[in-house]
Homo-oligomer: A and B are copies of this chain.
Amino acid sequence: MDSFNYFSPTEFVFGDGRESEVGALAKKYGAGRVLVHYGSGSAVKSGLIDRVTRSLDEAGLKYTLLGGVQPNPRDTLVYKGIELCRKENIDFILAVGGGSVIDSSKAIAAGVCYDGDLWDFYCGKAQIQKALPVGTVLTIAASGSEGSSSSVITKQDGMVKRGTHSDLIRPKFSVLDPRLTFTLPAYQTACGATDIMAHVFERYFTNTKEVEITDRLCEAVLITMVKETPIAVKQPGNYGARANIMWAGTIAHNDIVGVGRSQDWNSHGIEHELSGLYDCAHGAGLAVVMPAWMQYVYKHDVMRFAQMATRVFGCQMDFENPESTALEGIHAFRKFLHGIGMPINFAQLGAKEEDIPTLAGNMAEKYTTRGFVKLTRDDVRRILTIAAHAEI
C-alpha cells in the first residue's frame, strides 16, 4: 500500500425530503447571499427550486438564481456566474443538480476568488488558492462531484473538456435525497450508473500490491451497482435501489475506495474527447470506451481481471486458463452495460470512426503518461477502434 492523505470533510445529509434543511445548512457554513445554480427547467418544473428557495427564505438568506447549466458544462456560463457573483456580492454557491451543475458551481466558486482567467486552473497554468464555499442538492447519482475535490468543464471555443482538483472546492455539505432521482429517465439513470462504476474501475486497475482493503471496498461498490442498477432502470420509483446507488456514487469518487494505490484514469481521458466532440453523455461515452480499454490492456495483469470477473460478475474461475475468465469478466461488463440500455459501440453512441485520429490526437497529455498501462496515442487509436466495432 502506498502512502496517502485522505480528507473528505463534506457533511452528507441523506434521506427523503432532506432538501428542506438546505437553508439551515447553508447558514451553518457561513452563507449570507447565495447563488442558486441549476441546470435545465426540470429542477424548476418539479418544484425543487421552489422548495430550495423556500428553505433559504426560512433561514433568512438572500439569493440569486442562475439556471441553464448544460451537460458537459460550458466555461461561458461559468464566466457569467463569476460576473454575477461579483456584482451581487455572493458569498456561497448552492448547486442544485447533477455533476454538470456541481462542477460548474465549483468553477464559479474558484473563479470569483481569482484575478486571472478561470481556465488557468483547467489547463494547468494555476492552482486554486481560494474559493467560495459550495453546497449541493444532488439530483442524479453519477459524477460523485458532491463529495469530490474535482471539477470538469468544457471550453465552448473548440469544445475542449478539462478538469481540475482542489480540497478548497470540496462541498461543505451535500444533500442526497434518493427521491429526487425518481424522475430521471432510464437512459440517464444508466449513464450515471456507468459513470459510478467507471470511477471505481479507474481505481481498481492498479499496479500497487497488497491493497486487499481497497480492492474489497471497490468490489463492494461494483457488486452493489450490478445488483441495484437494473432495478432502478426498470422501477424508477424504487427508493431502496435509488438510495443504494446514490450512496455508492458518493463513495465511488470521494476516494475512500482508492487511497494508497496507483490509479488509472485513461478511460476517462479518452471519453472526455468523445463527449467533448459529440456532446454525448459522459456515462454513455464511458460505456463504449471502458470495456474496449479493458480488452486492450487485460494482458498486463490477467489475474486482476480474473479477480474482477469472479468477484464482481460471479464468473467461475477457470484455473487452467485464467485468461478466459478475464475475458469473460470483460464480456460480462459489456453485456451488463448493454442490458441497462447503454451504447456499446460508435454507431450506438453516434460517434464516427473517421474521427479517431482527431480524438486520440486531442487527448490531454496527462492521460497518456501514467496509469495501469501507459498509452501512446497509437494505443488510444487502437482502443477507439475496438470501441468503434464492439458487439456483445
Contacts and interface: CB of A to CB of B under 8 A. Distances in A.
Interface of A: 1-9, 11-16, 18, 178, 209-214, 216-217, 219-221, 223-224, 227-228, 239-241, 243-244, 247-248, 251, 256, 259-260
A251 B256 contact: yes
A12 B18 contact: no
A206 to B, nearest CB: 14
A345 B256 CA distance: 37
A353 to B, nearest CB: 38
Given A9-B9, A220-B220, A256-B251, A1 B243 contact: yes
A251 B244 CA distance: 19
Contacts of A219: 216, 220
A239 B212 CA distance: 13
A248 B244 CA distance: 22
A259 B13 CA distance: 11
Nearest to A9: B9
B12 A247 contact: no
A37 to B, nearest CB: 24
A248 B213 CA distance: 6
B11 A244 contact: no
Residue from the set A1, A213, A221 with the largest chain B CB neighbour count within 10 Å: A213
6 contacts: A3-B14, A5-B13, A213-B247, A217-B217, A217-B220, A247-B260
B1 A5 contact: no
A311 B215 CA distance: 15
Contact of A3 (B15, B213, B227, B228): B15
Copies of this chain in the oligomer: 2
Given A220-B220, A247-B1, A11 B7 contact: yes
Contacts of A220: 213, 216-217, 219-220
A167 to B, nearest CB: 9
Nearest to A6: B12
A14 B260 contact: yes
Contacts of A11: 5-7
Nearest to A227: B212
A23 to B, nearest CB: 16
Given A9-B9, A220-B219, A213 B14 contact: no
A210 B238 CA distance: 10
Nearest to A4: B14
Contacts of A213: 220-221, 224, 228, 244, 247-248, 251
Nearest to A177: B3
B259 A14 contact: yes
Contacts of A1: 178, 239-240, 243-244, 247
A16 B2 CA distance: 9
A177 to B, nearest CB: 9
Residue from the set A211, A220, A228, A240 with the largest chain B CB neighbour count within 10 Å: A220
Contact of A210 (B6, B212, B240): B240
Given A244-B210, A251-B256, A14 B5 contact: yes
A227 B215 CA distance: 13
Nearest to A14: B4
B15 A4 contact: yes
A318 to B, nearest CB: 19
Contacts of A260: 14-15, 243, 247
A333 B166 CA distance: 43
